[in-house]
């Protein structure tokens, strides 16, 4: 007996939460019940249970938005050793028909519950079958139902040029999860995927199609961190290369957690601090002008778990500090612990009206002066009671 679309959501919604691509760290705010059709939709979907499958995603222009995250199907022929949906594992399998998933999404969108859809899938059937189901759902949404919300589509392993183009024409964002940084590491996670043919090739195809069509479609990827014995250097090297070669927008990092009844069941979970440090290093490369070679690593090719990579960089380059806040350029200021892009722009604007002479002026610009002052000179003078560079222990966030 076929299940209703809302019943399938309770099976296929949780599986999509394992994919971090497009995710924001902020929780979805509770609605006030005022959106048209909201009460009717919540009543149909088990009095608000639908909210369990809605998370916030980072929209390129609008910031965090509520997004339905769901799988087209949780059936899969791939054998990824960490995955709860791997082939051969015993669990309830289900699938959406494109028509029913499109209508469910459209209803939630019209009710004001969501502003976007993240659609992934297990891999089943002949080449491009699963990709075809995803594209069919998106086509019904866009062309038949007039859906105007955000659309993030997952590219299936080995997706053909034609399938990739169809997805690019419909989506605002696409993604392929590499999971591992190179072929040797991926071989420790699956025996049914080739990193170049199945995973990197669709990203390259998408880059070509995006350039040819002139569409503004972003590309992202995700790595499972700590499952294959990889170093941070391997992950950052691959990420940096993809930023340069295929125009990748950003990378996501998921600290490994063992899943019962999988080949990696029993392997220790990865320290979540490692995931956090990788995000910080990635921000430095994407938004702060740091090169891959600038990222400080230990002898094993890993980031420090206890020190923010931006602070570690400053400690290794003490001869470059302190910087005169009134003369340093934007690139130099972005190297200062405690100063992010917004803080640097605030300093540059303030300097046009006159020199920045004291800590109170920095605080007035919304800057955490305690973290930044040890690395700055204010009109030629060190701040009173300035901390010594060697003694700093603050855990600096590159989002400052």
Which CATH number fits the domain that encloses residue 11?
Answer: 3.20.20.70
Pick from 372, 394, 396: nearest CA to 322 = 372
Are residues 11 and 82 part of one domain?
Answer: yes
Sign of CA dihedral 294, 295, 296, 302: negative
Single out the residue in 268, 294, 320 at which a domain terminates: 294
Residue 396 within a domain: no
Are residues 322 and 274 part of one domain?
Answer: no
Residue 398 within a domain: no
Are residues 290 and 313 part of one domain?
Answer: no
Alpha-carbon distance 349 to 51, whole Å?
43
Residue 397 within a domain: no
Mean pLDDT of the chain: 89
Are residues 325 and 287 part of one domain?
Answer: no
Residue 9 within a domain: yes
pLDDT, residue 15, reads 80
Summarised one tens digit per residue, pLDDT across range 223-263 is 999 999 999 999 999 999 999 999 999 999 999 999 999 99
Alpha-carbon distance 357 to 354, whole Å?
9
Between 236 and 15, whose confidence is greater? 236
Residue 301 within a domain: no
Residue 253 within a domain: yes
pTM (two decimals) = 0.88
Between 60 and 400, whose confidence is greater? 60
In this model, does residue 87 exceed pLDDT 90? yes
Query: How many separate domains does the chain show?
Result: 2
Contacts of 276 (CB under 8 A, 6+ apart): none
Which token pair is 81? 């050793």
Summarised one tens digit per residue, pLDDT across range 100-114 is 999 999 999 999 999
pLDDT, residue 367, reads 94
Are residues 47 and 87 part of one domain?
Answer: yes
Are residues 209 and 94 part of one domain?
Answer: yes
Are residues 238 and 361 part of one domain?
Answer: no
Are residues 316 and 240 part of one domain?
Answer: no
Single out the residue in 266, 294, 322 at which a domain terminates: 294
Are residues 334 and 186 part of one domain?
Answer: no
Are residues 187 and 62 part of one domain?
Answer: yes
Q: What is the mean pLDDT of residues 315-329?
A: 96
- Cis peptide upstream of residue 322 (ω within 30 degrees of 0): yes
Residue 300 within a domain: no
Alpha-carbon distance 369 to 149, whole Å?
41
Single out the residue in 255, 271, 294 at which a domain terminates: 294
Q: Which domain holds residue 338?
A: 309-391
Are residues 343 and 229 part of one domain?
Answer: no
Residue-by-residue DSSP string for 130-187: HHHHHHHHHHIIIIIS---SEEEEEPPTT--HHHHHHHHHH-SEEE---BSSSHHHHT
pLDDT, residue 21, reads 62
Residue 237 within a domain: yes
E strand residue ranges, the chain? 54-59, 63-71, 116-120, 150-154, 173-175, 218-225, 250-255, 323-324, 376-377
């Amino acid at each position: 007996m076929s299940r209703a679309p809302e019943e399938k959501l309770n099976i296929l919604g949780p599986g999509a939460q394992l994919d971090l691509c497009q995710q924001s760290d902020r929780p979805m705010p509770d609605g006030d019940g005022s959106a048209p059709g909201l009460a009717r939709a919540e009543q149909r979907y088990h009095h608000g249970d639908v909210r369990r499958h809605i998370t916030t995603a980072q929209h390129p222009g609008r910031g965090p938005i509520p997004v339905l995250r769901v799988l087209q199907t949780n059936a899969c022929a791939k054998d990824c050793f960490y995955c709860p949906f791997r082939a051969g594992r015993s669990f309830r399998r289900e699938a959406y028909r494109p028509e029913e998933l499109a209508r469910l999404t459209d209803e939630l969108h019209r009710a004001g519950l969501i502003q976007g859809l993240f659609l992934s899938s297990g891999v089943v059937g002949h080449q491009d079958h699963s990709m075809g189901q995803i594209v069919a759902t998106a086509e019904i949404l866009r062309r038949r139902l007039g859906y105007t919300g955000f659309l993030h589509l997952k590219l299936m392993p080995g997706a053909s040029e034609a399938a990739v183009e169809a997805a690019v024409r419909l989506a605002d964002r696409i993604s392929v999860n590499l999971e591992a940084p190179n072929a040797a590491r991926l071989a420790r996670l699956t025996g049914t995927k080739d990193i170049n043919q199945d995973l990197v090739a669709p990203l390259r195809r998408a880059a070509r199609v995006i350039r040819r069509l002139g569409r503004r479609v972003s590309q992202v990827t995700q790595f499972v961190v700590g499952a294959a014995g990889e170093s941070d250097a391997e992950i950052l090297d691959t990420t940096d290369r993809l930023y340069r070669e295929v125009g990748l927008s950003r990378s996501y990092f998921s600290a490994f957690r063992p899943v019962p009844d999988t080949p990696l069941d029993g392997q220790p979970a990865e320290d979540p601090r490692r995931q956090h440090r990788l995000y910080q290093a990635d921000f430095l490369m994407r938004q702060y002008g740091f090169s891959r070679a600038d990222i400080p690593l230990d002898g094993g090719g890993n980031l420090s778990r206890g020190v923010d990579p931006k602070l570690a960089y400053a400690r290794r380059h003490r001869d470059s500090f302190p910087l005169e806040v009134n003369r340093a350029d934007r690139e130099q200021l972005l190297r200062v612990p405690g100063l992010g892009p917004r803080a640097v722009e605030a300093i540059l604007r303030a300097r046009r009206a006159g020199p920045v002479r004291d800590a109170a002026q920095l605080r007035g610009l919304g800057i955490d002066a305690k973290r930044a002052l040890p690395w700055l000179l204010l009109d030629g003078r060190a701040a009173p009671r300035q901390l010594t560079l060697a003694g700093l222990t603050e855990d600096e966030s590159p989002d400052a």
